[in-house]
Amino acid sequence: MSGAKRGGGLLVAGTTSDAGKSVVTAGICRWLVRQGVKVAPFKAQNMSLNSFVTREGAEIGRAQAMQAQAARVEPTALMNPVLLKPGSDQSSQVVLLGKAVGEMSARGYHGGRQERLLGVVTDCLEQLRGTYDAVICEGAGSPAEINLRRTDIVNMGIARAARFPVVVVGDIDRGGVFASFFGTTALLSPGDQSLIAGYMVNKFRGDVSLLEPGMEMLRGLTGRATYGVLPFRHGLGIDEEDGLRVSLRGAVRESVVAPPVGEDVLRVAVCAVPLMSNFTDVDALAAEPGVVVRFVDRAEELTDADLVVVPGTRGTVKALRWLRERGLADALLRRAAEGRPVLGICGGFQALGEHIEDEVESRAGSVEGLGLLPVRVRFEREKTLARPVGSALGEPVTGYEIHHGVAEVLGGEPFLDGCRVGSVWGTHWHGSLESDGFRRAFLREVAAAAGRRFVPAPDTSFGELREEQLDLLGDLIEEHADTRALLELIETGAPPGLPFLPPGAP
């Protein structure tokens, strides 16, 4: 396989949100780069509270950062020019080319702003096409959102602008995948349908031969091929887009299934605060053998936890109110008084402080924090975006910062950019726990404070585990997709003469 020609590409769309577009896009990127193809990911518009800071100080979705890692390239703002960060059910912060440009309601965004951004996103895509052999685009939601088609810049809007072929991914685990493939196609206009090259089944369990009659019927009905049937695999939910949809009951994120090195396991409870952001911070904890991570929303679920994490949030004041209403705030105060470990990250760190002045995010003005750390926070309109490097607990640490709140640390022991008082730690740094030596040192401190005979594994490498996951995604594409046909799509576009399925959209 010699590689795709410069500027080719493909759009990975989905029958629904969470159909698997992000992981399929990452898998195609990893498969292509292993074939010697210089490839980049792209998502014109992303709605997510999980974000990342690039080297140039731009904020993009973590899914695109993960896809860039799959492609073995450095992530840039070009790969995700528009990021929407929900602040409520009605409005989101708009991040354009890596910088926040204001809050906007859904009606206001879809009422004109989104359409005007098409030129920006197509320019970013063209820059990538001029640099890379191939660009693998990820859509959002479904391309058949016919109420939003006029202003669409992320599904068929970008496919039409770039003349990219489209492969539609369907999650068969949900049921109704054939109807979803057919209906998605039949609701599109003739021009849009001409780019729908075919389909890919995701999360299949069982004997593929039982699926083949359905795929043949689908081809007969649509004139389009199924480009792959990807089997269900555990542990592929890496860097999901949306923390709003985390399932609380039994939501244990684990990368490694291995017994603890010491005599005890370590139990970590993550408070599932409203507008939870960058909950991927705890993935590195879950990667440690013997560490059990779960998301919780009730005070009694903190009782048996050895460590409680108050994670980042897009709404610090709202999260504080939620913690108090549910009795979690009192439970955190009791833990601190008993010397039991608590870690606050970003918005969680701010909530653990003494006082917050917020005329920006919540516009609530003066708000009292939980008072567990000697920190006062003032929200500024300019967002801090940084990739800090430092040390803590005798180990080197890297991370990234995304916050409007500026913390004034008034005491305690220094801890990264924040502080520590007894068994309560706080920092703005996301991603710090991905630094292996620091994570092990921190877990040893937690185990000692919790009275657990837990010993961190001496050789767990979060970076290597992430690479293994990305290689597994590449393997899924290589082993279960029609890679020859996919490469032809990337190089030459959608097959000519694809039939129109009525009724279509106007």
Q: Is the pLDDT of residue 244 over 60?
A: no
pLDDT at 262 (0 to 100): 84
Look at 102 and 281; give whichever has higher pLDDT.
281
- Condensed to tens digits (0 to 9), the pLDDT of residues 355-408 reads 999 999 889 999 999 999 999 999 999 999 999 999 999 999 999 999 999 999
How far from 92 is each of 86, 217, 264, CA to CA, in Å? Answer: 4, 42, 43
**What is the predicted pLDDT for the residue at 105?**
73
* Residues 415, 426: Cα–Cα separation, whole Å: 7
Tell me what pLDDT residue 194 has.
98
Query: Is pLDDT above 70 for 251?
Result: no
Cβ atoms within 10 A of the Cβ of 118, count? 17
Residue in 403, 404, 430, 480 annotated catalytic: 430
Partnered with residue 397 across adjacent β-strands are 390
Alpha carbon distance 60, 55 (integer Å): 11
Look at residue 240 in the predicted model and tell me its pLDDT.
55
Instruction: Tell me what pLDDT residue 249 has.
Output: 35
Q: Which amino acid is at 125?
A: L
| pLDDT (0 to 100) of residue 246 | 41
Residues constituting the chain: 506
Confidence band of 181 (pLDDT split at 50, 70, 90): very high
Structural element, H or E, at residue 311: none
Residue 355 is a catalytic residue: no
Specify the pLDDT at position 257. 54
Q: What is the mean pLDDT of residues 291-314?
A: 95
Evaluate if residue 313 carries a pLDDT over 80: yes
Does the pLDDT at position 229 exceed 80?
yes
Check whether 1 has a pLDDT greater than 90.
no
Distance, in Å, from the CA atom of 65 to the CA atom of 53, rounded to the nearest integer, reads 9
CA dist., res. 313 & res. 491, Å (int): 42
Residue 243 pLDDT > 60:
no
d(CA 66, CA 125) in angstroms, rounded, equals 18
404 or 240, greater pLDDT = 404
**What's residue 505's pLDDT?**
87
Of the listed 346, 419, 428, 480, which one is catalytic?
346
Other C-beta atoms closer than 10 Å to the C-beta of 143 total 27
Question: For residue 252, what pLDDT band results from cuts at 50, 70 and 90?
Answer: very low
The answer to whether 160 touches 493, Cβ cutoff 8 Å, is no
Question: From the CB of residue 390, how many other CB atoms can be counted at a distance below 10 Å?
Answer: 16
For 6, which DSSP code?
A: T
Q: Is the pLDDT of residue 235 over 50?
A: yes
pLDDT at 241: 53
**What whole-number distance in Å separates Cα of residue 154 and Cα of residue 163?**
13
Q: Which amino acid is at 89?
A: D
Calculate what percentage of the chain has a pLDDT beyond 70: 92
The answer to whether residue 419 is catalytic is: no
Amino acid 440: pLDDT? 97
Q: Average pLDDT for residues 164-173, to the nearest whole number?
A: 96
For the chain, the 3-state helix, strand and coil shares in percent, each to the nearest 5, are 35, 30, 35
> How many percent of the chain have pLDDT more than 90?
84
| Residue among 446, 432, 457, 468 nearest 289 (CA) | 457
**For 346, which DSSP code?**
T
Nearest to 456 by CA among 307, 248, 318, 343: 307
**Looking at residues 75-90, what average pLDDT do you find?**
91
Average the pLDDT over each of 41-45, 100-104, 184-188 and give the range with the smallest value: 100-104
d(CA 281, CA 292): 14
pLDDT in tens, 95-151: 999 999 988 776 666 555 666 889 999 999 999 999 999 999 999 999 999 998 988
Whether 334 and 369 have beta carbons less than 8 Å apart is answered as no
Q: Across the strands, what pairs with 11? A: 137, 166
**What are the strands of the beta sheet with 82-86, ordered from one edge?**
45-47, 82-86, 91-96, 99-105
Dump the DSSP string for 397-434. EE-BEEEEEEEEE-SSEEETTEEEETTEEEES-BTGGG
pLDDT at 247 over 80: no
Pseudo-torsion of CA 277, 278, 280, 281, nearest 10°? -120
The pLDDT of residue 88 is 76
Look over the chain and give the mean of its residue pLDDT values, rounded to a whole number. 91
CA–centroid distance for 86 within its chain: 14
State the average pLDDT over residues 210-237.
91
What is the average pLDDT across 22-51? Answer: 96
CA angle 483–32–479, rounded 5-degree value: 40
Nearest to 417, CA basis, from 437, 396, 391, 395: 391
User: What is the pairing mode between strands 291-296 and 82-86?
Assistant: unpaired
- Dihedral angle over CA of 236, 239, 241, 242, nearest 10: 90
Report whether pLDDT(55) > 70.
Answer: yes
Cα angle vertex 77, ends 377, 157, to 5°? 120
